[in-house]
Amino acid sequence: MTLVVGLGISGRAICRHLSRREIPYMVADTRSAPPGLDDFHAAHPGVEIYCGPLTGLDLSRVEEVVLSPGIDPATPGLAELAGRTRVATGEPLVVGEIALFVRATRAPIAAITGSNAKSTVTTLLGEMAHEAGRRVAVGGNLGTPALDLLHDTPDADFYVLELSSFQLETTPRLGAESAIFLNLSEDHLDRHRTMASYRAAKLGIFRGARHAVVNAEEPMTWPDTRLPAQDRFTTLAPEPGEWGIGRHAGETWLMHGSEPLMPAGEVLLQGRHNQANALAALAAGHHLGLPLPAMRRVLGRFAGLPHRCEWIAEIDGVIWINDTKGTNVGATLAAIRGIGPTLRGRLILLAGGVGKGADFAPLATAVRDYVRTALLFGLDAERLASVLSGAVETHCVEDLAAAMAWAQSLAEPGDCVLLSPACASFDQFANYQERGDHFRRWVLARQTGAEA
């Protein structure tokens, strides 16, 4: 009997997968009444469901435990299973959805992880493959759960998967054809406890990989063991074999070593950090055999995902960018350092919310270099101000609406108003999407007024 723990989106995908393969299973959820329980009973009649603390669950009949990503393997009732193996196969007793995916597919996998930008690179690589005429399926932590991709696109040439640290820590061996580790910054320490443990979970992307793409400027993204092939990307002039940004014919170009690939100005994504994301996708696409012309066409039209350095409008010479997905310090650093150097003017930074105990100190240098004024709102506005006030002019305001109104009065032609909060949103919004939608509506209403 297989035990599925967690009845969220991924947990239900696990159950659909096991049902299709006629593998007997039961389900457990730590909540006393998980949402959608009646719908689950209707879709899976006869499946036993246990709700409540896992310490009360009888595991004597369980041959394997499959965790949803949101379930911590250290949860009471599961922690004692760590290190145990299945009698029949010698594999770990506790695994996650991606372990089932790896068992079930023979198609190559391109996998992407990182603290930030993994959704952008995942989507970008999938678009490149599609443009090149490949039958590709894209999902994982982004969009469609990986196990549903198997059912929806069983004949895919390859799968492009965004993978979180939660998914990777329960994947014994991924065996990716290309494994991309973009960056690493403080996040999810409520789950992983230390940066070392967080990094160790992320490094699971390289287990069994045939090719790695890593950040030349962040050694923490480099694998601890030697792989058959490896590419590095950088925002600097590339060393031989690296993917970077250099000068060619008097312009800034994306480069592969000394080979010019395309002018950086033709990449529609905004900011130097997004040019780095483009290079990571190019490196993986090159390994996967995607032709450069197809990849260039995608880079020339792909404007990015909603809420991730999303260009909203230019009003009276001022650009407004929605990076509400910047919910941690690393993401906001990337946005400031990526967009700041591309401007004629300066940044007006809108930041704040729930900092989750993060250390804001790394923001100070980037803010000093590129930001004119930081307008801070939400629960941790004062804590942000205490860190940034020595580097830049700061003002604490009541909410995002007040920050936007003040930004409009301060911004000059050539400036950019950047919403990149470095914080979670749930003090004033339901989620980061609602925060970004609020920003977008406000800006577009002002644009309409300016055009009238």
Catalytic choice (44, 130, 188, 248): 188
**Furthest C-alpha separation in the chain:** 72
325 is known as an active-site residue: no
Polymer length of the chain? 452
Respond yes or no: is residue 438 known to be catalytic.
Answer: no
Catalytic residue of the set 141, 274, 277, 328: 141
Mark whether 141 is an active-site residue.
yes
Check if the beta carbon of residue 264 is closer than 8 Å to that of residue 236.
no
Catalytic residue among 17, 118, 256, 273: 118
The token duo for 332 is: 């906001």
Alpha-carbon distance 4 to 370, whole Å?
48
Residues with a known catalytic role: 118, 141, 188
